[in-house]
Amino acid sequence: MTDRYALIGHPVGHSKSPLIHGLFAQATAQDLTYTAIEAPLDGFADTLASFRASGGRGTNVTVPFKLQAFELSTDPSETARLAGAANTLKFVDDRIHADNTDGVGLVNDLQRNLGHRLAGKRVLLLGAGGATRGAILPIAAEHPALFAVANRTAARAHALRSAFAAHTVLQTGGLDELQGESFDVIINATSAGLTQSALPLPDSIFAPGALAYDMVYGKGLTPFLRQARAAGVSTLADGVGMLVEQAAESFTIWRGVRPDTRAVIERLTVPLV
């Protein structure tokens, strides 16, 4: 019998996840289907329960339901627990296993695909929302020399320093405190790229040979990447690799088989122009 998986979110019409998981299934000879389900904003729990009752084996969860997915889980991973959010659910009997694969997907893209090892590097995450929370543990596990989080509202960044104090040491502050600082890897985890908004960042944050990475994908050169290029950064990347790598982690959790990602990333890549 064909196993069923799905993405649940609102909206989901733009999602590449069905294509990605379809390509993974084809490449690994897995008998499964993967669909996108748009849940009402007040109906995530009912939608999830209905999919489980119909024989669904697991789901990805996207905005705005990642917090609810975590809350409904019975067996969250440490990464999901600290993030307070889950993007991957696996149903086993009456249990709901939850994980957050976004951060692992980011690190895999940075290191495997882009060749930027994080060990010993100065790393800056911009933003203090769910994307940042999911990325902190996987980045910290690579032992950067300095790990900083900066946000428009400094208090939110400081809250992350406290929340993760038992796991890593974070340098935190406001975007207005970055003057004179420089980093080897700068990751925009804010939603500014979706709205084509510029962040108030000093050019000094981009160290010589730095990588500038925007988690937004498929938008070409976002304002953040444009600023990085204007500041002399030659290595620019958007989040398409992260999208595919986090999907591969979810696929592995469900199926016990890790698909190759490179061909799928190449297929989905939009030139940064």
What is the secondary structure of 138-201 as a DSSP string?
HHHTT--SEEEEEESSHHHHHHHHHHTTTT---EEEEGGG-TT--EEEEEE-SSTTTTTPPP--
In which residue ranges of the chain is CATH 3.40.50.720 found?
Answer: 103-238
CB atoms within 10 A of CB 204: 13
**What CATH homologous superfamily does 3-100+241-268 map to?**
Leucine Dehydrogenase, chain A, domain 1 (3.40.50.10860)
Domain with CATH 3.40.50.10860 in the chain: 3-100+241-268
pLDDT in tens, the chain (273 residues): 899 999 999 999 989 999 999 999 999 999 999 999 999 999 999 999 999 999 999 999 998 999 999 999 999 999 999 899 999 999 999 999 999 999 999 999 999 999 999 999 999 999 998 889 999 999 999 999 999 999 999 999 999 999 999 999 999 999 999 999 999 999 999 988 777 888 999 999 999 999 999 999 988 999 999 999 999 999 999 999 999 999 999 999 999 999 999 999 999 999 998
56 forms beta bridges with 4
Compute how many other C-beta atoms are within 10 angstroms of the C-beta atom of residue 143: 13
Give me the helices (H) in the chain, please: 17-28, 44-53, 66-72, 78-83, 102-108, 130-140, 154-163, 223-230, 240-255, 262-268
What topology does CATH give the domain 103-238?
Answer: Rossmann fold (3.40.50)
Catalytic residues: 66
